[in-house]
């Protein structure tokens, strides 16, 4: 399958970006001096006496739509993910980690900024924000509020904060955070490979175009039969190989396991034979996509080992929303069981996601952390680990908390008693506008069409089957007031009544 037409990262940048790497190579002494002086001024390195004082590297894997129970280490009965499972065994696995939203763009915005999507006013995905008609059903009771199309340039992204501290910054894969004027290069990334405003590829097999028909940056030259997940990994491995000892931040945002559900044929066939009656997971193409991600994660980790930098590289893996629990091309995509529902809803299946962190020398191996955490937390966590201080005007508005206390001791508690979600949008008949709060074991959903409340005790009822709102009205009301106070604090935009809405005619008795 080798082809001379494949253009590597280094080759591309020799002629496309004015020989980025070569220039850095030629100026390496000056660059490193500036980088390390900047890093020293910013306190980068978080070094302790007698330890390696070089700044740590970061690899942040964001797997699209990966459900909470989709990985072997989270209990999948079909999907084989031995490499990610091994990552979890050598680091820390979170049982109660959340995406800040049940769909792509808002969670990605929270990762980039450390802020709640409701504060950023990015509450639905790019395509829905630009053209609400695509998701419009007739006779909606509420008109959803406007959602910003673009991640504002005034936000200091995690890439910008690290770049200022001397890091090389690469975005590889899905972006989905704005029009071309807001692509990764304008948000602190030195490199953008594969990122556009679109949320998915037209196909996972070459040639690579996004679902809106745009060529993907850096992926125009392909070989026949090339698989997108593998290609993004090739690019990531090339990037890491070219960093040449400089600290780096790699944001590797796989398009998998989002639609189109397309796995490599040999893997699909193997899973087709493996599926047995009664299995929770039973989509062979989806299983193949998950395995391709696992193999890719393994290749990146192998590259860190090969270069001898695994002990200086923090690895994080998260998903941007819950698994898609509905039909696609006639088959259920995935199941988030034991969680309820999935993508596009604020039930646990829509927002609870896998999160694994390996901070060499810090996270105790084989540890499991049960503290509720959220994607907003990654920004302050990464800066805390790196020892990089954020721009004060930005950090004052951050909603996330550093997870460092948990990474050092999984039984620690964070100084926070509640997490919040606000999704004032409709989702293909599976969701009506809703907000929610999790406080300890309690979870409350407030439906914005009619004020209906749902209250669940997650400690006893992780599947959200037993609504306690009527049985515990005072508890429900206290949580509702807390949720409302949070919405006001962050300036959450609310839906408005639709003046043209007409109640559905009752069935004839």
> What residues make contact with Ca ion under the rule CB under 5 A?
64-65, 104, 320-321
> CA–CA separation, 353 vs 318, rounded Å?
7
Least distance (Å) from Ca ion to the CB of residue 125? 8
HEC letters along 376-418: HHHHHHHHHHHCCCCCHHHHCCCCCCCCHHHHHCCCCCCCCCC
Residue 455: enclosing H or E segment and its boundaries?
strand 453-457
Of 64 and 348, which CB lies nearer to Ca ion in the complex structure? 64
Least distance (Å) from Ca ion to the CB of residue 417? 28
Least distance (Å) from Ca ion to the CB of residue 104? 4
> CA–CA separation, 421 vs 446, rounded Å?
10
**487 alpha-carbon distance from chain centroid:** 23
Of 155 and 320, which CB lies nearer to Ca ion in the complex structure? 320
Of 6 and 203, which CB lies nearer to Ca ion in the complex structure? 203
Least distance (Å) from Ca ion to the CB of residue 223? 28
Least distance (Å) from Ca ion to the CB of residue 324? 8
Least distance (Å) from Ca ion to the CB of residue 65? 4
> CA–CA separation, 175 vs 190, rounded Å?
14
Find, among 62, 60, 31, 229, the residue nearest to 159 by Cα.
60
CB atoms within 10 A of CB 279: 12
> CA–CA separation, 312 vs 248, rounded Å?
11
Of 320 and 348, which CB lies nearer to Ca ion in the complex structure? 320
Fill in the DSSP letter of residue 254: E
Least distance (Å) from Ca ion to the CB of residue 344? 10
Degrees to nearest 5, angle at CA 100 with 98 and 101: 110
Identify each DSSP E strand in 333-385 by its residue range. Answer: 352-358, 367-369, 373-374
Least distance (Å) from Ca ion to the CB of residue 62? 9
The residue of the chain with the least Cβ separation from Ca ion equals 104
Of 65 and 190, which CB lies nearer to Ca ion in the complex structure? 65
Of 140 and 324, which CB lies nearer to Ca ion in the complex structure? 324
Of 321 and 336, which CB lies nearer to Ca ion in the complex structure? 321
Q: Assign residue 440 a region: left if phi > 0, alpha if psi is -120 to 50, beta otherwise? A: left
> CA–CA separation, 205 vs 301, rounded Å?
24
Least distance (Å) from Ca ion to the CB of residue 117? 13
Of 63 and 468, which CB lies nearer to Ca ion in the complex structure? 63
Of 348 and 384, which CB lies nearer to Ca ion in the complex structure? 348
Cβ-contact 479, 439 below 8 angstroms = yes
């Amino acid at each position: 399958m080798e082809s001379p037409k494949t253009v590597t990262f280094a080759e591309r940048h020799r002629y496309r970006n004015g020989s980025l790497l070569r220039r850095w190579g030629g100026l390496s002494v000056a660059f490193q001096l500036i980088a390390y002086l900047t890093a020293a001024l910013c306190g980068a390195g978080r070094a302790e006496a007698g330890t390696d004082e070089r700044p740590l590297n970061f690899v942040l894997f964001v797997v699209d739509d990966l459900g909470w129970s989709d990985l072997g280490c989270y209990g999948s009965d079909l999907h084989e993910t031995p490499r990610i499972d091994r990552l979890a065994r050598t680091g820390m696995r979170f049982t109660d980690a959340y995406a800040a939203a049940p769909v792509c763009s808002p969670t990605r915005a929270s990762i980039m900024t450390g802020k709640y999507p409701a504060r950023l006013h990015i509450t639905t995905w790019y395509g829905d924000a630009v053209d609400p008609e695509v998701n419009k059903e007739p006779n909606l009771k509420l008109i959803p509020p406007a959602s910003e199309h673009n991640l504002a340039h005034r936000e200091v992204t995690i890439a910008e904060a690290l770049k200022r501290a001397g890091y090389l910054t690469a975005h590889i894969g899905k972006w989905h955070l704005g029009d071309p004027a807001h692509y990764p290069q304008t948000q602190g990334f030195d490199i953008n490979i594969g990122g556009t405003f679109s949320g998915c590829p037209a196909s996972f097999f070459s040639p690579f175009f996004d679902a809106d028909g745009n060529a993907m940056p850096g992926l125009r030259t392909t070989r026949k039969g090339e698989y997108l997940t593998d290609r993004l990994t090739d690019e990531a491995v090339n990037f890491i190989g070219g960093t040449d000892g400089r600290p780096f931040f790699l944001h590797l945002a796989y398009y998998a396991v989002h639609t189109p559900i397309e796995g490599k044929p040999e893997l699909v066939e193997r899973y087709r034979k493996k599926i047995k009656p009664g299995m929770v997971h039973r989509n062979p193409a989806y299983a193949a996509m998950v395995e391709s991600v696992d193999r890719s994660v393994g290749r990146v980790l192998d590259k860190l080992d090969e270069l001898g930098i695994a002990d200086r590289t923090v690895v994080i893996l998260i998903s941007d929303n819950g698994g898609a629990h509905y039909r696609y091309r006639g088959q259920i995509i995935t199941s988030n069981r034991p969680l309820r529902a999935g993508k596009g809803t604020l039930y646990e299946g829509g927002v609870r996601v896998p999160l694994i962190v390996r901070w060499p020398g810090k996270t105790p191996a084989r540890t499991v952390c049960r503290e509720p955490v959220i994607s907003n937390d990654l920004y302050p966590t990464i800066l805390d680990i790196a020892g990089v201080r954020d721009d004060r005007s930005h950090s004052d508005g951050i909603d996330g908390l550093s997870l460092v206390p948990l990474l050092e001791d999984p039984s620690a508690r964070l100084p926070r008693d509640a997490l919040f979600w606000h999704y004032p949008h409709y989702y293909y008949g599976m969701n009506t506008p809703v907000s929610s709060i999790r406080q300890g074991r309690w979870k409350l959903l407030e439906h914005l069409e009619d004020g209906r409340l749902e209250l669940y005790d997650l400690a006893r009822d992780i599947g959200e089957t037993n609504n306690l709102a009527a049985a515990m009205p005072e508890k429900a009301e206290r949580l509702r007031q807390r949720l409302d106070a949070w919405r006001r604090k962050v300036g959450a935009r609310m839906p408005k009544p639709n003046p043209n809405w007409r109640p559905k005619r009752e069935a004839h008795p």
